[in-house]
Structure 1
Amino acid sequence: MIRTATVDDVPVIHTMIRELAEYERARESAKATEAQLREALFGAHPAAFALIAEDAEGPVGFALWFRNFSTWTGTHGVYLEDLYVRPEARGGGHGKALLTALAEICTERGYERFEWSVLDWNEPSIGFYRSIGAEPMDGWTVFRLTGDALHNLAGVSNVNAA
């Protein structure tokens, strides 16, 4: 079963984000707090949205997404920030069900793109995405500014640097 997340799901979403970070070999980078997630998902101006995959035992996965915008199509789209299914529930169709629910959101709202990133080494996920018709964006490289580089470009000192 796929359902829209509620504020009561924040602790389990937080836990699964940390599990995902562990799987992606970057647990130390998963710094978001439950309070930050609660505000981002359920505050006065939500920045993101989440779906929960459940089985008889309870939540087994989630998808966290936000709207983006394409200047080429002139429409919004969905950017999938995180898709995670707990290891013991993989192969049960939960990942595909989450992606299907997001594809339905796109089509119902007239969004023309549904995009996400995947780590180059994550062959099981890449194979799964290809099996549903997703195509890699060859010729594109993701860039990111964080920490000192971000603050230097903004022309401010990073007073929060660890």
Structure 2
Amino acid sequence: MIRPATPADIPAIHTLIRELADYEKALKEAKATQEQLQEALFGPHPAAYAHVATDSTDTVIGYAIWFLTFSTWRGVHGIYLEDLYVRPAARGAGHGKALLTELARICDDRGYQRLEWSVLNWNTPAITFYESLDAHPQTEWTTYRLTDEALTRAARTPTR
């Protein structure tokens, strides 16, 4: 079953985020706390949204965290999928596809024209899955990121 996450799902989502970070060989970078997730997803000004996949006992076995984007070219919102993760033991049963289908439905219902996400180049199981859904890589774009000390330096650089 796919449903919107609730505040009661925060501990499970937090655990799954750490599992995903471990899988992606970046556990040390996964610093988000349950309190931060609570604020981001359910605070007075939500920055993101979440859906969960549950098994027959309503145990959370997967999640999708997403947020709205805006296309200046299309003039409408889209969805950026930050994370999609299903526990290894639950893979192959359609939970990942159901989570993506739910986000595609939200796009369609609301008139959003894009559903986008990133995938690590070495994650061939995910790439194969996404391509089976007829998703296409955007190879002409390169993602750049400022974090930590580089972000602080950029913020403090004089503009003149």
TM-score w.r.t. length of structure 2:
0.96
Cα distance in 1, alignment partners of residues 91 and 29 from structure 2:
24
Aligned to 1:97: 98
Amino acid of the structure 1 residue aligned with 2:123? N
Classify the secondary structure of the residue corresponding to 2:35.
helix
Cα distance in 1, alignment partners of residues 24 and 30 from structure 2:
10
Amino acid of the structure 1 residue aligned with 2:49? F
Q: How does 1:83-94 map to 2 (within 5 A)?
A: 83-94=84-95
1:55 deviates by 1.1
Aligned to 1:31: 31
1:59 deviates by 1.0
1:109 deviates by 0.5
- Structure 1 window deviating more from structure 2 (50-59 vs 31-40): it is 50-59
Q: How does 1:1-162 map to 2 (within 5 A)?
A: 1-57=1-57, 58-155=59-156
1:82 deviates by 0.3
Which digits, 9 at most, give the CA deviation of each residue in 1:121-158, with x for residues without a partner? Answer: 000100110010100001111100001111111107xx
Which digits, 9 at most, give the CA deviation of each residue in 1:25-57, with x for residues without a partner? Answer: 000000000000000000000000000001114
Which 5+ residue runs of structure 2 have no aligned equivalent? none
Amino acid of the structure 2 residue aligned with 1:65? W
Amino acid of the structure 2 residue aligned with 1:118? V
Classify the secondary structure of the residue corresponding to 1:45.
coil
Aligned to 1:160: none
Aligned to 1:159: none
